[in-house]
Structure 1
Amino acid sequence: MPLLLGVVLLAAIAAAGWYGWSQWQAWNARQQNQAQQQLGALEQRLDTLRRDQHAQGERIQDAAATNRVLRDEVLGLSQRGALLEDSVAKLVDSTHQGVAALRLDQAELELHLAAQRLTIAGDLPGARQAYALAADTLHGLDDPRLLNVKQALEQERAAVEQLGDGPQAKADAQLTEASAALAQLPRKATVEDTTRPSWQRILSPLIDVRPSGTRVAVAPAQRAAFENALQLELTLARAALERNDRPAFQGAMTRAAAWLPRLWPASPQASAVEKQFGQIAALPLQPDLPAQGSTLRLLQSVRSRPAAPTPLPAARAHDANPGTGDTP
């Protein structure tokens, strides 16, 4: 009996040992299987990570290449911008020079017009207006070379202002005054009664006694012809005055003065008018302006000298860092 119990106990221990060993073997197999599965999963994850790393490296390389292309484009755009700035600066400078040249042409034309108004037509108001236009034209230019030109123009304008109405207007006023004085000249010579013989004083109401050598016209037809000739000479003098022809004006006034003794007898009034005609003939018709034309000559001298070139703005340097945006 004890033996049987020993055998049963031994069998139970053996069965328990076998069962434990089999359970341990099964657990060990499960652990190894789980470890292998985990290892396979890790290997798959590592493969996935390697593929992702490779793709990420390729994307980084593509990004670096793209950054290099963009950097080159930015450099090209910067250089193109600098060239555009230079072109715009040159265009602005050429436009400014063209406008300045146009205004200088206009000022020179206005100065020519003022000189012609003075020398040819004797039109002082027109000359003053032309000088004012030239001053306005030059006022809008900031060229320092024109400083002397503007100063000379102001001096020339002041000299023209001092002329007043001008020598032509003065000569015309004196000619009009002398022509009006002709109507006041006495037709007969005034002789004191105390100096005349008694027979002349007795016959004076009936007979007009004149010297035989006198040239004064007596016949109405002859007198009318002489008066017409005198008025013709005065008209010719006014026409010569209008066209600023001094030789023709002097000739007409001299011939008009020669007609006075043929129309009126010698008297203080006739002598005064004849003397006035001679003074009018000697009047100058051109204004005495030493500064006339100085502005035009200075302007032409300035335009003959080339202007200093306007400095263009320097192109900005766009030096980009070669390593910017690149990944080695």
Structure 2
Amino acid sequence: MSDNDNKDALPAEVDKSPAAPRRRGAGLLASLALIVALAAAGGAGWLYYQLIYLSDQQNAAVVAEMQAALNTATSRNDATDAALNRQRERLAELDSLIDQQQTISQRQLQQLSAQVQELSAVDRNDWLLAEAEYLLRLANQRLQLSGDSRAAARLLSSADAILRELDDPALHPVRSELAKELSALQSLSDIDIEGLYLQLEGLAGEVDKLEAYGAPEYSPAPVADADSTWQSGLATGFQRAWEKLRSYIRIRQHDDKFRAELAPEQADALRASLRMMLEQAQLALLAERPTVYQRALDKAANWLQRYFPLNDRREALATQLEKLGQADIRGERPDISGSLRALKEYSKAQRWQREVGQ
């Protein structure tokens, strides 16, 4: 048995010797695999930790951003709500204004409709009566303000023609008053105010052509020669003195004594003063103030006689001034308001009859 055991044992040792390196290699591989597995497990754990940590940070950032966006959206929503509230208030005010305007427009439309109905009820006779009343009123104003009797008579005649066209017997009192007033205007003296004014203006233009008194002129005598005797010199001196004395004396044919209130060389001032007197007469003529008018003409005539020499031009101006002074620039104006009052009474009676008939 021992021999057999040895035989059996010997092959086993022979088999063990080549397999030993393979077992050692497998152990190394297993160790390496274990190390790799542990490393992979550690890496996986680290990655998992990083993923979990980073995910928490990102979630916090996202949550913060979302919270900020939510706050912004909330503030914007509040602002939008406030703006909408203001818009609603404005719309309410506009609605109120529109309602008020509609109410006012409806009221005005009703008033216009009433006026149109009133106008439609007015016939052609009413328009003619209104025109005649306007003409009578204008005639009274023209006579009282400007004293133009001819224009007032034309206006009264136009009003009478309108009343004659109406052919209403009730207008007889009005036409009777018109006839009386026309007769009173025609009996007035026809004063041409415009013509008198133009005549005065023409006289003012002629003033510049008048000749005023000039200053005395003196021409010295020639000086005697040295060879002349003392007797001739004395005679020459007496002659020069006499000539100078004669130059200061002028004899003129005037009814009144000439009194120079201004210097003779001031001819322009004399003419300007005379023109001012004529302009004063023009203003008094337009204002219908006969006293001032006559006083200005009398003063101009005296000024003309006193400071301007007697000649044909001065006499012509004096004659025209005298003729203008004889004009009565303001006559007594008749009362022509009776026809206007009668027409108003007629119109009032017509309206009353129309109201009663309705």
TM-score, scaled relative to structure 1: 0.45
TM-score, scaled relative to structure 2: 0.42
Question: Whose relative contact order is higher, 1 or 2, with alpha carbons under 8 Å and at least 6 apart?
Answer: 1
Structure with higher Rg: it is 2
